[in-house]
Amino acid sequence: MQIMERICLDKINHFVLSKQHLVVTTKSDDVVQIVRDVGGLHATISTTPYLSLYARSPCFERTDLDKELYEKHSLGKIRCVRKTIYVHATDMLPVAFSATVNVVARASGRFMESRGASPQAYEDVSKAILALLESEEMTAPAIKAALGTKLDVSSILYFMCDQGMLARGRPKSGWKDKRHHYALFGRYFPGVDLGKMSEKKAITALVKRYLAAFGPVKENDVVWWMGLGKTKARAALKDLEKQVSQVAISGIEGNFFVLCSDEALIKDAEPPDEPTVNLLPALDPYLMGYKERERYLGDHVQVFDRSGNVTSTILVSGKIVGVWDFQGGDEPLVKLLFLEKIDQHVLDEVYASAQRLGRFIADHKVGIKECDAMVPLTERPAGSFMSPLKDKV
């Protein structure tokens, strides 16, 4: 495995921003291609996939994602790496499933049993659920009512999804709704064989996709993102040895893995003269792709919580400079908190971007409010990353 010469961090950040469709020249209106290129979209928070695509697609509308997910079925939701729900292109579903099912289904199976579903109860109820969904999609409360059971149906549905029996369908009432319908996986994705790949082959394929989306990366980054342990990550990197090189980044210790096909692209990457401004949602893939975050984090450790979840951030040329939050109500606001001083012309662009983002979220003009402090997420309750500037006025 050859090692490239040392590359400056600004060049690396611009290269990754470009791959992640976060610079003007690489933004796209091809929703499915964006999802492929960024290694999948986090979907634990219902709004995150929409806001991640909004940041990358100049003409994006919420119905664009809905069509691909719920009409064309060119995209699908699946729980995979780190037991997190992702949106992936349909042809990536077997890869993500086979690579992670042993970990994911084991965890959801234990949770289901902890909620009172014995193996026999699960067998009976799951058969009844499959029969119910033969003719229509249904929400968890509707399924529970139809079955007339006191069991925790939601935990059973999660386990069935994680086994590849069911698909997560359309939200009950709009893009912000956490509740959704369930459908038979085979009806949603006819011809998709989730069991066609071995675990080892699938892990290698997933690591290659990860390198394409996030490289250059360290081994620790691969291990953390996959959530499958160091042994399996190392085995995958070994399988890809002939397709991978290493690069050193100025100012950061250690060597980084990168696909050989990206070598020339890295060398040719030239940051623009004008700074690139991005307002990214909580759990955006660009910021969730790495365990070691020196490349974009600086001293701003308060934007990640104890579990490694990142909040909604303001980026300038790929580096975090602040935090944003949305406050609904009669007079909706986009709140901004700057963690360092930035030039006035960049500040103007952040404000303009916040106005556009607020209009996308609220469907009408919003106010902008600048805050002056926040409590680090590591000192706050779980889930605080979803609303980092709550109660700040």
Domains of the chain, CATH where assigned: 9-23+199-266 (1.10.10), 298-386 (no CATH)
Stretch 297-307: mean pLDDT: 87
Report CA dihedral (340, 342, 344, 347) to the nearest 10 degrees. Answer: -80
Q: How far is it, in rounded angstroms, from Cα 1 to Cα 153?
A: 50
Q: Regarding beta strands 85-89 and 41-42, do their DSSP bridges make them parallel or antiparallel, or are they unpaired?
A: antiparallel
335: burial class by Cβ within 10 Å (0-12, 13-18, 19+)? Answer: buried
Q: How far is it, in rounded angstroms, from Cα 151 to Cα 163?
A: 19
Q: Residue 352: is its pLDDT beyond 70?
A: yes
- What is the structure's pLDDT at 189? 97
- Determine which helix (DSSP H) or strand (DSSP E) holds 264, and give its type and residue range: helix 263-268
pLDDT > 90 fraction of the chain, expressed in percent and rounded: 88
**Tokens describing residue 90:** 């349909």
Q: Residue 81: is its pLDDT beyond 90?
A: yes
Helix 9-19 to helix 199-214 angle (10° resolution) is: 120
Higher pLDDT, 2 or 253: 253
Read off the pLDDT of residues 84-135 as tens digits, 9 standing for 90 and up: 999 999 999 999 999 999 999 999 999 999 999 999 999 999 999 999 999 9
DSSP string, 194-213: TTSS-HHHHHHHHHHHHHHH
DSSP string, 319-376: EEEEEEEEE-SSS-EEEEEESS---HHHHHHHHHHHHHHHHHHHSS--EEEEE-----
Read off the pLDDT of residues 266-294 as tens digits, 9 standing for 90 and up: 988 888 889 999 999 999 999 999 999 98
- What is the structure's pLDDT at 365? 93
- What is the structure's pLDDT at 268? 86
Cis peptide bond prior to 216, omega within 30° of 0: yes
Q: How far is it, in rounded angstroms, from Cα 276 to Cα 316?
A: 5
> In sequence order, which residues have a C-beta less than 8 Å from that of residue 71 and are 6 or more positions away?
none
Which amino acid does the sequence have at 99?
Answer: A
**Tokens describing residue 124:** 């009976």
Read off the pLDDT of residues 198-240 as tens digits, 9 standing for 90 and up: 999 999 999 999 999 999 999 999 999 999 999 999 999 999 9
Q: Residue 4: is its pLDDT beyond 80?
A: no
Confidence of residue 263 (pLDDT cuts 50, 70, 90): confident
> How many CA atoms does the CB half-sphere of 309 hold within 13 Å?
26
Beta-bridged to residue 369, according to DSSP, are 335
